[in-house]
C-alpha cells in the first residue's frame, strides 16, 4: 500500500510562512490531496494536485513533484486559526482510495 511520510509537528509565528512537506510512494500515482483538520472536527479539503508544479489558492499553495514523490503545502500570512492538523493523502497502485498520513500538527503562536 501507500506510505505517506510527513512531519509530526511544526510551530510557526503569526504572520509568517510555513512549508509542510510530504513524501509518498510514486507507483500507480493518482493525485495527491491535502486536508485541514481542526481539533475535534472532520477534515476539510484544501487541494488536489495531479500535475507537477505549484497551485495557489489564496494564502495556501500546494506543490507537487511526481518524479520525486514529493509535495508540500505552503501557508502564507499565518493566522492563529491556521493551527490545525494538515493531512497529506495519496492513492497508490492504481487505486482511487487515498491513504492518509498521520498529519502534521501546526501550532501558530503570537
Partner 1 sequence: GAGVSQSPSNKVTEKGKDVELRCDPISGHTALYWYRQSLGQGLEFLIYFQGNSAPDKSGLPSDRFSAERTGGSVSTLTIQRTQQEDSAVYLCASSLRAAHEQFFGPGTRLTVL
Question: Where on the chain is the footprint of partner 1 (CB under 8 A)?
Answer: 30-31, 33, 35, 41-45, 48, 87, 89, 91, 95-103
| Gap between the Cα atoms of 3 and 84, Å rounded | 22
Instruction: Report the nearest approach of partner 1 to the CB of residue 67 (Å).
Output: 20
Our CB check for partner 1 shows the closer of 53 and 96 to be 96
Our CB check for partner 1 shows the closer of 15 and 28 to be 28
| Gap between the Cα atoms of 1 and 35, Å rounded | 20
Instruction: Report the nearest approach of partner 1 to the CB of residue 12 (Å).
Output: 20
Positive or negative, the CA dihedral 68, 73, 19, 89 is negative
| Gap between the Cα atoms of 104 and 62, Å rounded | 15
Instruction: Report the nearest approach of partner 1 to the CB of residue 15 (Å).
Output: 28
Our CB check for partner 1 shows the closer of 8 and 13 to be 8
Exposed/middle/buried for 55, CB within 10 Å: 0-12, 13-18, 19+? Answer: middle
Our CB check for partner 1 shows the closer of 61 and 105 to be 105
Instruction: Report the nearest approach of partner 1 to the CB of residue 63 (Å).
Output: 18
Given a contact cutoff of 8 angstroms between Cβ atoms, the answer to whether 20 and 36 are in contact is: no
Amino acid at each position: 500500500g501507500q506510505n505517506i511520510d510527513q512531519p509530526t509537528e511544526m510551530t510557526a509565528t503569526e504572520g509568517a510562512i510555513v512549508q509542510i512537506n510530504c513524501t509518498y510512494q510514486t507507483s500507480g500515482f493518482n493525485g495527491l490531496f491535502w486536508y485541514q483538520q481542526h481539533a475535534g472536527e472532520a477534515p476539510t479539503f484544501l487541494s488536489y494536485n495531479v500535475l507537477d508544479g505549484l497551485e495557489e489558492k489564496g494564502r495556501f499553495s500546494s506543490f507537487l513533484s511526481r518524479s520525486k514523490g514529493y509535495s508540500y503545502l505552503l501557508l502564507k500570512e499565518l493566522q492563529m486559526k491556521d493551527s490545525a492538523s494538515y493531512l497529506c493523502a495519496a492513492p497508490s497502485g492504481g487505486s482511487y482510495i487515498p491513504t492518509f498520513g498521520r498529519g502534521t500538527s501546526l501550532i501558530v503562536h503570537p
